[in-house]
Chains A and B, each alone.
Chain A
Amino acid sequence: EPEVTQTPSHQVTQMGQEVILRCVPISNHLYFYWYRQILGQKVEFLVSFYNNEISEKSEIFDDQFSVERPDGSNFTLKIRSTKLEDSAMYFCASSEGLGYNEQFFGPGTRLTVL
């Protein structure tokens, strides 16, 4: 069964460093999403992406964040200069994009900023 994959499963970085979180969505899907969950808090929407551009973003998704689909398979989230409060579980999701489709989630990347 097709699934969304994410790498790495756990990333540890120093404050101020850049990180790139990687996702491989399901191959025929057209819409891509990033969510995050700070420990003990709600899963929060960050950004959605369609047709090589951002279709919606939240207040959290400021200039420190960017997304890219560098090739036909990967979907990346970059944090330019990490802060302690960026420590969270980051989930990638994708959907077919036709009608009211289910979003399929990856297992998440745990980002720890020291």
Chain B
Amino acid sequence: GNSVTQMEGPVTLSEEAFLTINCTYTATGYPSLFWYVQYPGEGLQLLLKATKADDKGSNKGFEATYRKETTSFHLEKGSVQVSDSAVYFCALRNTGANSKLTFGKGITLSVRP
């Protein structure tokens, strides 16, 4: 079946540090891949997505590239801000426009001023 594995957290960084959050997946077929973010007290928000191999999703300075050969979708940001402190979830969705999302465990990022 489908599964998503995220690196263990939490992660604490200083402002302007480089961020990498690892995500690998197992899936049949050709899934779409997503990063969701959850700020305190809010719901999960879509941060970025990629729908096929070698696609790069980007938003708010975050990037992730769909790597089929390594089954990975690592999230990166060159310079984090305090406002990026949140929980980040990697997820996949198999083919089928409205099929379910399969999530990783989520990782808490704290950014210090």
Report how far A37 CA is from B103 CA in the complex, Å: 10
Within A98-114, the residues touching B (CB, 8 Å) are 98-108
**Any chain A CB within 8 A of the CB of B57?**
no
Please measure, in the bound complex, the distance between the C-alpha atom of A105 and the C-alpha atom of B45, giving whole angstroms.
7
A105 and B43 contact, CB distance less than 8 A? yes
Q: How many B residues, CB 8 Å from partner? A: 23
Cβ contact within 8 Å between A101 and B98:
yes
Contacts of A95 in B (CB 8 A): 98
> With an 8 A cutoff between CB atoms, is A8 at the interface?
no
Q: Mark B71-113, 1 if CB is under 8 A from A, else 0.
A: 0000000000000000001010000011111111110000000
Residues in A with CB closer than 8 Å to B105 are 40-42
CA distance in complex: A36, B70 (Å): 29
Indicate whether A101 sits within 8 Å of B43 (C-beta atoms), given known contacts A41-B105, A42-B103: no
Number of interface residues of A (CB under 8 A): 32
Taking A42-B105, A44-B103 as contacts, is the C-beta distance between A107 and B97 under 8 angstroms? no
Contacts of B89 in A (CB 8 A): 43
How far, in Å, is A90 (CB) from chain B's closest CB? 11
Known interface pairs A41-B105, A43-B101; 10 further A-B residue pairs with C-beta atoms within 8 A, sorted by A's residue number: A3-B43, A31-B98, A35-B101, A37-B106, A42-B105, A43-B103, A100-B97, A105-B43, A107-B41, A108-B43
